[in-house]
Amino acid sequence: MSSIVIQGDTSGSITVEAPSVAGTHTLTLPKATGNIATDATVGLGMKNRIINGDMRIAQRGTGTVNPNGAYVYSVDRTAVYTPTSGIITAGQSTTSPDNFTHSFLVTSTTTTSVGAGDINIISHRIEGNNIADLGWGTSAAKTVTLSFWVRSSLTGTFGGAFKNNAYNRNYLFEYTISSANTWEKKTITVTGDTTGTWNTDNNSGIQIVWSLGTGSTYSTTAGSWVAGQYFNATGSVNLVATSGATFYITGVQLEKGENATPFENRMYSQELAMCQRYFYKVDGSNGLSTIGAGMSVSTTDGRIAVQYPVKMRASPTTTFGGTLYLINTVGSGIVVTSIAANYGGAQGAMISFGVASGLTAGAGQVLFTDSGASNYFQASAEL
């Protein structure tokens, strides 16, 4: 039996039996450093269950937000929550570790005393369709590994949690920031939950939170699955207790298995399309932008067909801001004053845009934004 020997500049070689080849032939490969990549380390399209984990996509703009008793988004797919306004600001930043271009920055804007029932968090919800194969809530629950890059002006032990949509199953985790204002990579491995209800449809499947300051009511010991409702590990750093404190995060990855692998870099267009399943925005930042076309049904009601670029998670809520124009057949622009109704679903809609007067029933119309980023139409189907 002849053979082919594949030999690298290392100790040992790989021999492949090849009965059709006469003699022994040696292929010498150049010396390589590091590990040979396998399917665990090469991105195959959805290794990472986090969307926009590198914080590049910010359809809402790069300005900061100030949450006030609700989940508020700045960069796509990652939200912040505080019980009242004036506690933090949050938004996209270009401060980032090597091999990344953006991060998500939270800044404490005052010295906040965290009450027992207070929750201040960063949150990322993963759609149930994207975690169904993990088998959480069954005896076949898979282990996952969360990794991320973090930087803060504060040091110490920080906390967070994995949560289900019913808010009654939680895994609390801890990680340590050792050096102030220095990027550090953190890795957390979590054994899958064999109990509880974990959505596998288009609702929230897993919510991951990073605490910025959580009271005792919603904090408990880290390291195991617990029932109830918790957002933080007991004793963790309260970022909001220090005025001016900063917290950056990027390179967030959640993958199946016990090991963290290199961050999965997807094409920008692919990442944007994945974000647009949950949020879609057209604005005038690059000049007049077309939203859709249709016809008027009365002097005050223009029906415009809007096709979303991808099928959204669910039928979205549509809103607008600034100035939109209905352009009629003779080129005159009539300012939109309201969205009266939305006749549609997850793929598109016939939307009723109201104006004060000036439309002609049966006439064609095109809907535009005025120039400027403050003039926009948006559709939201966030989890």
pLDDT at 13: 42
The token duo for 85 is 């306004």
Say whether domain 277-380 belongs to CATH 1.20.58.
no
Tracing tokens 């054994």 back to the chain, one arrives at 191
Query: Residue 154: CA atoms inside 13 Å, Cβ hemisphere, count?
Result: 21
Q: Is 322 helix (H, G, I), strand (E, B) or coil?
A: coil
Cβ neighbours around 294 below 10 Å, total? 19
What architecture does CATH give domain 72-274? Sandwich (2.60)
Instruction: Give dist(CA 261, CA 252) in Å, integer.
Output: 12
pLDDT at 159: 98
Same fold, 72-274 and 277-380: no
Cβ neighbours around 268 below 10 Å, total? 10
* Contact assessment for residue 133 and residue 192, using Cβ atoms and an 8 Å cutoff: no
Q: Could you tell me the strand order of the sheet in which 156-163 lies?
A: 72-73, 78-81, 119-127, 204-214, 156-163, 169-177, 225-227
Domains of the chain, residue spans = 1-33, 72-274, 277-380
For residues 130-162, one letter each, b for 16 or more C-beta atoms within 10 angstroms of the residue's C-beta and e for the rest, the string is bbeebbbbeeebeebbbbbbbbbbbeeebbbbb
Instruction: Give dist(CA 255, CA 44) in Å, integer.
Output: 12
**Which parts of 252-377 fold into alpha helices (H)?**
268-276
Per-residue pLDDT of the chain (383 residues; tens, 9 = 90+): 444 444 444 344 444 444 444 555 444 444 444 433 343 444 445 899 999 999 999 999 999 999 999 999 999 999 999 999 999 999 999 999 999 999 999 999 999 999 999 999 999 999 999 999 999 999 999 999 999 999 999 999 999 999 999 999 999 999 999 999 999 999 999 999 999 999 999 999 999 999 999 999 999 999 999 999 999 999 999 999 999 999 999 999 999 999 999 999 999 999 999 999 999 999 999 999 999 999 999 999 999 999 999 999 999 999 999 999 999 866 679 999 999 888 999 999 999 999 999 999 999 999 999 999 999 999 999 99
Q: Which one, of 37, 225, 200, 206, lies nearest residue 133 by Cα? A: 200
Q: What are phi and psi of 151, to 5 degrees?
A: -150, 135
pLDDT at 28: 46
pLDDT at 331: 65
User: Is the dihedral angle over the CA atoms 87, 90, 93, 95 positive or is it negative?
Assistant: positive
